């Protein structure tokens, strides 16, 4: 069976990077003037240094296309950290095996306690997050958590270790709707240096995950790169190619992209490449121009100022008021957290701010999964 | 000016103009026109092939050419079962596992039956055929056919034989954007400009029959189509400049940066 792994073999990192840096203003103008669909060559132009001078027209078009498709709405979601146990070493992560923090995995009661706080905050779309600890937080645990939560939420998403196709199918039947798995970087060697130990060090297994998700019939998949590990333009090109491949192959699924910028954490890795605010805006718009339909998601890693302004430029979903420590909604404990968030405003404030921009924050936008 | 070759099921084509063999007033004229077209893939209705006695003025004798791959079509069948039978017959008679799947139970407009076509594609792909189905310009059907193992899709531009051009334009654009197999625009192309437009859109190839066969001068018309296909493809690969879209809206969105 064909998978993205086979396709990526045709792409040579350095050649792609050279291509991107060679793109000219004329290439950008041509891409921006296209009335129809943009292709990956256009994407290269839009993430190239040459496009920096065209940020405003990119933003205008991205804004227009996003409103056309999604209306003036922002889907709200909230992460629920179930566990910070992890057997992997990832150089950039506060949950990394070698980081001396307290470890915790929520019990059923604790999950329900989190649930009720989150529900009071108004959230209907929840994102379950764990590290990778198969003994304590394996498929059975996840199955149990989904079963526990599905009567309470309209939409359950998951950001955990990559699983087997049959496991995804099993969790889908339990009511799992969305799965987010970020490749972190598509640069094979760089990947190795950042994932020296644990199951995550297997680049190809991770790369194959979305194909397994597609075959398992998962309705929505998220992808992305950790911006800061490698040249963001080239890495994002690979992610865009991955997206296009998936859209064509698993055409009944929906897709979302996230833009995590590497932040300081307990592990303390400094980003190799700094992505400025202007560059992040450029990247968001480039994705939107490439795909009308992909959902673009922004987390609380970003500052209130940035989030408030960028929500008009192509973003379709946002989290708010997030805690990255397991149990953190009912019993905050900073010693357990994955990274410090930047936008610490309470949900009500974020909501008010979204409304001020002329947008409607949407909390429920799915038939309750429990209905099926 | 060379353009990229097209590959279908491991076979490479340098000409993106596929042709038919029906409606010509005489077989020698047909042969001359096909030669002028530079085509490398020629579809022939199985029902017109004399399977048993290959002699005399049988159509096949006029279709022997080192450059031409024959593509038997199932025109005349009414359902998937008949199509599979016809394909098996063609495989035996013409020594090819390629088949252009045409199932149009409606004799008036020759509209392809999507349900039978999907069923037949599944069955034929399993039997090792290289299937090229003639279909409506239906993007979802194209994805379903891909999953069924089709080698290409052949959506119609307009009703067959109508010469109306790309009436299904909006849907063809979606198909071309989404497809993982070659997209060959079949039916309805009445003028070289239609063929050029299809190629500029990014179609992988076009199939033209009636417009060449019934032209006043089929040989000259075949040449014109060849040039149009070449021009359209070259333009596509050269990345067309597009008419500028909407003007930039009023308030700046990036002033906060
Ligand atoms: S990124 Fe994920 S896998 Fe890596 S250490 Fe953090 S929680 Fe574990």
Question: What tens digit of pLDDT does each residue of A39-71 get?
Answer: 999 999 999 999 999 999 999 999 988 988 888
Contact residues, chain B, for A34 at CB < 8 Å: 242, 245
Question: To the nearest whole number, what is the mean pLDDT of chain A?
Answer: 91
pLDDT tens digits for range A131-188: 999 999 999 999 999 999 999 998 999 999 999 999 999 999 999 999 999 999 999 9
Numbers of helices and strands, H then E, in chain A: 15, 9
Atom of ligand 1 nearest to the CA of A87: 8
Does the distance separating the beta carbons of A61 and B245 come in below 8 Å? yes
The answer, yes or no, to whether residue B244 has pLDDT greater than 60, is no
The pTM score is 0.82
Residue A128 burial (CB count, 10 A): 23
> What does the mean pLDDT of chain B come to?
88
Assigned token pair, A329: 């909604």
- Tell me the pLDDT band of A336, cut-offs 50, 70 and 90: confident
Q: Confirm if A202 and A93 have CB atoms less than 8 A apart.
A: no
CB-ligand 1 contact for A206 (6 Å cutoff): no
Picking from A29, A56, A67 by the largest number of B CB atoms within 10 A of its own CB, the best residue to mutate is: A56
Is the shortest distance between the CB of A200 and ligand 1 below 6 Å?
Answer: yes
Q: How many CB atoms lie within 10 A of CB A2?
A: 10
pLDDT value at position A371?
Answer: 39
* Per-residue pLDDT at B45: 84
Look at B173 and A61 and tell me if their CB atoms are within 8 Å.
Answer: no
Lowest mean pLDDT among A328-332, A348-352, B218-222: A328-332
Question: Which chain A residues are Cβ-neighbours of B248 within 8 angstroms?
Answer: 56-57, 60
Ligand 1 within 6 A of CB of A194? no
C-alpha span between B185 and B209 (Å, rounded)? 12
ipTM greater than 0.85: no
Name the percent of chain B lying above pLDDT 70: 93
Q: How far apart are CA B118 and CA A261, in angstroms?
A: 46
From the list B227, B236, B170, B226, the residue with the least C-alpha distance to B203 is: B236
Please indicate whether, in this complex, the C-beta atoms of B178 and A248 are within 8 angstroms of each other. Answer: yes
- Closest residue in chain B to residue A38, using alpha carbons only: B177
- pLDDT bucket at A366, cuts 50 / 70 / 90: low
Q: Is-contact A284 A257, C-beta < 8 A?
A: no
pLDDT at A369: 43
In 10 A of CB B256, how many CB atoms?
12
Report CB contact under 8 Å: B256, A312. Answer: no
Which chain A residue is nearest to residue B170, measuring alpha carbons?
A: A36
B140 CB-side CA count, 13 A: 3
Bridge partner list, A75: A317, A362
- Dihedral Cα A349, A353, A356, A357, nearest 10 deg: -160
With an 8 Å Cβ cutoff, are B248 and A247 in contact? no
Residues of B with catalytic function: 100
Judged by a CB distance cut-off of 8 A, whether residue A342 touches chain B is no
* pLDDT for the residue numbered A265: 54
Ligand 1 center–CA A100 separation, angstroms? 14
Q: Residue A31: its pLDDT value, please? A: 93
When scoring A37, A60, A307 by the number of chain B Cβ atoms within 10 A, the one with the most, hence best to mutate, is A60
């Amino acid at each position: 069976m064909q998978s993205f792994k086979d396709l990526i073999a045709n792409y040579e990192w350095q050649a792609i990077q050279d291509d991107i840096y060679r793109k000219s203003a004329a290439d950008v103008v041509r891409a921006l003037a296209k009335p129809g669909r943009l292709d990956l060559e256009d994407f290269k132009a839009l993430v190239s240094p040459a496009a920096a001078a065209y940020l405003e027209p990119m933003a205008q078009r991205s804004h227009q296309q996003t409103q056309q498709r999604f209306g003036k709405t922002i889907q709200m979601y909230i992460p629920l950290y179930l566990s910070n146990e992890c057997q992997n070493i990832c150089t950039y992560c506060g949950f990394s095996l070698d980081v001396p923090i307290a470890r915790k995995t929520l019990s059923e009661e604790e999950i329900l306690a989190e649930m009720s706080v989150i529900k009071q905050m108004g959230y209907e779309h929840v994102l379950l997050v764990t590290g990778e600890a198969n003994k304590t937080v394996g498929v059975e645990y996840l199955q149990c958590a989904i079963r526990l939560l599905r009567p309470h939420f309209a939409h359950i998403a998951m950001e955990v270790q990559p699983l087997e196709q049959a496991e995804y199918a099993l969790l889908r039947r339990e009511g799992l709707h969305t799965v987010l798995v970020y490749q972190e970087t598509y640069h094979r060697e760089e990947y190795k240096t950042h994932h020296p130990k644990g199951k995550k060090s297997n680049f190809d297994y991770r790369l194959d995950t979305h194909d397994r998700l597609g075959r398992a019939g998962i309705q929505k998949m998220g992808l992305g790169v950790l911006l800061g590990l490698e040249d963001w333009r080239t890495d994002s090109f690979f992610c865009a190619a991955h997206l296009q491949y998936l859209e064509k192959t698993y055409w009944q699924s929906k897709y979302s992209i996230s833009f995590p910028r590497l932040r300081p954490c307990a592990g303390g890795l400094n980003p190799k490449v700094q992505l400025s605010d202007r560059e992040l805006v450029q990247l968001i718009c480039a994705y939107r121009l490439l795909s009308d339909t992909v959902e673009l998601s922004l987390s609380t890693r970003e500052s209130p100022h940035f989030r408030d302004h960028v929500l008009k430029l192509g973003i379709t979903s946002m989290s708010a008021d997030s805690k990255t420590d397991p149990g953190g909604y009912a019993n905050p404990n900073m010693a357990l957290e994955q990274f410090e968030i930047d936008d610490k405003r309470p949900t009500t404030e974020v909501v008010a701010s979204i409304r001020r921009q002329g947008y409607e924050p949407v909390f429920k936008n799915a038939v309750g999964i429990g209905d099926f | 000016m060379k353009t990229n070759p097209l590959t279908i099921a491991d076979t490479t084509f340098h000409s993106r103009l596929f042709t038919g063999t029906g409606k010509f007033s005489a077989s020698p004229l047909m042969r001359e026109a096909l030669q002028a077209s530079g085509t490398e893939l020629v579809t022939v209705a199985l029902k017109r092939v004399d399977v048993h006695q290959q002699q005399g003025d049988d159509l096949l004798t006029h279709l022997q050419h080192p450059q031409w791959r024959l593509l038997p079509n199932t025109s005349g069948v009414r359902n998937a079962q008949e199509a599979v039978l016809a394909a098996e017959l063609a495989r035996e008679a013409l020594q090819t596992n390629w088949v252009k799947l045409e199932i149009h139970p409606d004799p008036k407009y020759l509209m392809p039956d999507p349900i039978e076509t999907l069923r037949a594609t599944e069955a034929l792909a399993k039997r090792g055929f290289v299937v090229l189905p003639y279909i409506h310009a239906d993007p979802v059907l194209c994805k379903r056919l891909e999953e069924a193992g089709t080698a290409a899709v052949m959506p119609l531009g307009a009703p067959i034989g109508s010469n109306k051009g790309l009436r299904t334009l909006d849907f063809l654009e979606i198909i071309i954007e989404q497809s993982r197999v070659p997209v060959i625009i079949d039916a309805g192309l009445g003028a070289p400009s239609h063929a050029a437009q299809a190629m500029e859109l990014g179609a992988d190839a076009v199939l033209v029959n009636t417009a060449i066969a019934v032209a006043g001068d089929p040989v000259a018309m075949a040449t014109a189509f060849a040039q149009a296909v070449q021009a359209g493809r070259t333009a596509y690969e050269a990345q067309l400049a597009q008419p500028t879209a909407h003007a930039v809206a009023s308030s700046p969105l990036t002033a906060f940066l």
